Amino acid sequence: MSLYAMQKFLFELNREPEVQRRYKHDREALLETYDFDEEEYRAVYEGDIGKLYVLGCNGQLLMHFAPLLGMPWAEYIQAMRDGVRNHGPVRAGVYAMTTAMDEKVAGV
């Protein structure tokens, strides 16, 4: 698993308008420059927040991907819950889910 590559992609996406432009308009060529495995590539390509969360992407990197995808805060939070429901617990990192699936501590 190349968690480093996924997080590096998110780091550059969050910082660089040119990377954001390429993700929207030149996605395949952009993603070729990162060392993803197939599962990671699909998650990044499809903007699958839930899968990226389960794969261990740091929430501080991941949360900026959501507005770029047009995803409001409540949908972003729910996408991560759905990711855990569909793919199992977070596999790496320190951003594991510690609340219950229906425990909406902030109401969303």
Partner 1 sequence: MSLVFAGVCSHAPGITGRAHLAEPAARDAFYAGMAQMRAELEAAQPDAVIVMAAEHFANFFMNNMPAFAMGMGKRYDAPIEDPAWLGIEKVQVPGNPELSKRLITEVMQSVDVAFAEEWKFDHGIIVPLHFLTPRYDKNIIPVNINCQGPPLTPLHRAWAFGDALRRACDKVTERIALVGTGGISHWPATPDSGKVNWEWDQRFMDHWCRNDKDAMLAYTDEETLRDAGQGGFEIRTFMAVAAAARGLGKILHCAPIPIFAVSCTAATMAVV
Q: Which residues bind partner 1 (CB under 8 A)?
A: 4, 7-8, 10-11, 14-15, 53, 58-64, 67-68, 73, 77, 80-81, 84, 94-99, 104-108
CB of 11 to partner 1, least distance (A): 5
CB of 63 to partner 1, least distance (A): 4
CB of 27 to partner 1, least distance (A): 19
Q: What residues have CB less than 8 Å from 26, skipping those under 6 apart?
A: none
Q: How far apart are CA 103 and CA 101, in angstroms?
A: 6
Nearest residue (CB) to partner 1, 46 versus 72: 72
Nearest residue (CB) to partner 1, 28 versus 63: 63
Nearest residue (CB) to partner 1, 14 versus 31: 14
CB of 99 to partner 1, least distance (A): 5
Per-residue DSSP letters for the chain? --HHHHHHHHHHHHH-HHHHHHHHHSHHHHHTTS---HHHHHHHHTT-HHHHHHTT--HHHHTTHHHHTT--HHHHHHHHHHHHHHH-S--SSS----S-TT--TT--
